[in-house]
Amino acid sequence: MEVHFAPDVESRLRQVAQANGKDAEQLVKDTVARMLERHAHFIAGVNKGIAQADRGELLDHDDVVSRITRLQEPCDSSGGQPKPPANT
């Protein structure tokens, strides 16, 4: 597969790759692989939510707001991940 970028984008990719000790091709491969993993994780989460909703397992508005607020809190000290919701 070949992908062509505009010259300015290619230049920025090279700069970012160099700053991270990689070549531009490896940076693109790594980035696309992470994007695909995140996409699969997102789709799995959506499907899980749909299945829960189909079973009637719904949250009220206040619970949703509380969970979103917790996700926006500073990360914990175990590696930079957001604190998990209390009831999941």
Q: What is the count of structural domains for the chain?
A: 2
Instruction: State residue 8's pLDDT score.
Output: 97
Is residue 13 a part of any domain in this protein? Answer: yes
- Long-range CB pairs of 79-88 (<8 Å, 24+ gap) are none
Instruction: State residue 85's pLDDT score.
Output: 58
33, 36, 42, 67 from 16: Cα distances, Å: 17, 20, 26, 34
Same domain, 46 and 78: no
Task: Report the pLDDT averaged over residues 25-44.
Answer: 96
Same domain, 33 and 73: no
Q: Average model confidence (pLDDT) for the chain?
A: 89
- Residue 76's domain comprises 60-88
What's the pTM value of the predicted model, to 2 decimals?
0.64
Instruction: State residue 77's pLDDT score.
Output: 58
- Distance (Å, whole) CA 50 – CA 56: 10
**Residue 52 and residue 58 in contact, taking contact as beta carbons nearer than 8 Å:** yes
